[in-house]
């Protein structure tokens, strides 16, 4: 029946009308809240995925790639098992991440903190990709590290371009099952020619040692090469443990305890053979994953990090800040390093 203008709704009818108006609104609001929560979950999931992707890009996540990888110096296909030598070399900052990662160590209050002011790192000038550190308490020296991958080098041109030191790869252990020891084919020539050109010379050994005995063997092997060169090194012999890409690396699944023991065994043997300083090559991933503070405290640190400012909170002496630099006198892309040396 149609209602006239004087017809009125009773309390029951009014309540019923309100019910049918309010109920749909409540349903819509509930749906919107649910969608919003789901949207937040999706957003959070995407953010987590991006974060994990960045971490994988930074630390390798079991792949060979840019940051980090094992291609600062190209590797030959591994495999004493396939009859080929493994020319495993490159940056610790380029190491692939193993399938299982040890827990991050707890830092002690006595650890050596990074003393450098991040605001004082800058490019040498507007046209240069080289980085310097400007602080009255330090001097900054540009240097390089080389292996036979670089081929012929005009050391006078390198020196004239302002490069003052070099770490030369003495040798490497293959990352196949047999783990044979190999001398870098240009090691002795590089060390002699660099010294003659006036550069300060150090050396490094790319390690695939799986225990202390092999690490000490590597140190003695490197020491023999350095002795035969006749060069009086003014920089340390560096222990350079790294991971090989994929599952090929014989040392990819070592525990933190074993890695630290290997480093100390290398140090002891090198000091005994050469009576020299021994340094350790690391990056942020290795410092947080494989080395404890007590071990790091035993070494000067050569730190690899390809960011505009080093990210570590731990002290270091040399910073390998790029693997894509260009140096007069050397063909192709190069690792370039900064030596930050106190002047007081």
Instruction: Tell me the average pLDDT across 168-176.
Output: 95
- Mean pLDDT across the stretch 186-214? 98
pTM: 0.73
Count the neighbouring beta carbons within 10 Å of the beta carbon of residue 137. 9
Residue 40 predicted with pLDDT over 60: no
Range among 7-11, 172-176, 267-271 rated most confident: 267-271
* 271 pLDDT higher than 70: yes
pLDDT of amino acid 267: 98
* Model confidence band, residue 111 (pLDDT cutoffs 50, 70, 90): low
With contact defined as beta carbons under 8 Å apart, do 74 and 149 qualify? yes
**Does residue 73 surpass a pLDDT of 70?**
no
Integer Cα distance of 68 and 47 in angstroms = 22
SS3 221: helix
CB 76 within 8 A of CB 90: no
What is the spatial distance between Cα 142 and Cα 208, in angstroms, rounded to a whole number?
29
Q: What is the mean pLDDT of residues 41-55?
A: 37
- Between vectors from CA 283 to CA 245 and to CA 128, what angle results, nearest 5°? 105
Confidence of residue 26 (pLDDT cuts 50, 70, 90): low
CATH architecture type of domain 80-342: Alpha-Beta Barrel (3.20)
Q: Comparing C-alpha atoms, which of 248, 331, 294 is closest to residue 79?
A: 248
Domain boundaries, the chain: 13-51, 80-342
Of 214, 145, 219, the C-alpha closest to 175 is 214
Dihedral of CA 246/220/262/114: which sign?
A: negative
Considering only residues 43 and 122, tell me which one the structure prediction assigns the higher pLDDT: 122
Which H or E run includes 138? strand 138-146
Residue-averaged pLDDT of the chain:
78
Predicted local distance difference test score (pLDDT) of residue 17: 46
**pLDDT average, residue stretch 91-100:** 43
Question: Sign of torsion, CA 7 11 17 21?
Answer: positive
| Mean pLDDT for the stretch of residues 23-45 | 46
Residue 152 has pLDDT above 60, yes or no: yes
3-state secondary structure of 331: coil
């Amino acid at each position: 029946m149609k209602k006239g203008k004087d017809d009125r709704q009773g309390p029951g009818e009014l309540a019923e009308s309100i019910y049918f108006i309010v109920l749909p609104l409540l349903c819509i609001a509930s749906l919107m809240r649910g969608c919003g929560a789901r949207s937040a979950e999706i957003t959070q999931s995407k953010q987590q995925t991006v974060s994990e992707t960045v971490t994988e890009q930074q630390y390798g996540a079991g792949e060979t790639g840019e940051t980090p990888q094992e291609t600062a110096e190209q590797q030959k296909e591994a495999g004493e098992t396939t009859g080929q030598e493994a020319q495993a070399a490159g940056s610790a900052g380029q190491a692939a991440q193993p399938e299982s990662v040890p827990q991050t160590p707890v830092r002690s209050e006595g650890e050596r903190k990074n003393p450098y002011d991040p605001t004082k790192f800058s490019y040498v000038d507007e046209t240069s990709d080289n980085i310097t550190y400007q602080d009255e308490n330090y001097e900054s020296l540009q240097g390089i590290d080389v292996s036979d991958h670089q081929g012929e080098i005009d050391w006078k041109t390198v020196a004239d371009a302002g490069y003052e030191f070099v770490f030369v790869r003495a040798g490497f252990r293959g990352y196949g099952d047999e783990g044979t020891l190999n001398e870098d084919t240009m090691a002795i020539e590089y060390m002699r020619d660099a010294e003659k050109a006036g550069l300060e010379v150090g050396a490094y050994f790319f390690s695939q040692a799986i225990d202390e005995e092999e690490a000490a063997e590597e140190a003695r092997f490197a020491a023999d090469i350095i002795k035969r060169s006749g060069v009086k090194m003014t920089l340390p012999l560096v222990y350079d443990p790294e991971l090989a890409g994929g599952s090929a690396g014989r040392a990819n699944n070592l525990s933190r305890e074993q890695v630290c023991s290997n480093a100390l065994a290398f140090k002891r043997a090198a000091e005994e053979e050469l009576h020299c300083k021994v340094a350790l090559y690391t990056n942020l991933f290795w410092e947080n994953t494989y080395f404890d503070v007590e071990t790091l405290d035993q070494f000067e640190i050569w730190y690899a990090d390809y960011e505009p400012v080093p990210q570590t909170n731990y002290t270091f002496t040399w910073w390998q800040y790029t693997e894509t630099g260009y140096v007069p006198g050397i063909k192709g892309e190069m690792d370039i390093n900064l030596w930050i040396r106190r002047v007081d």
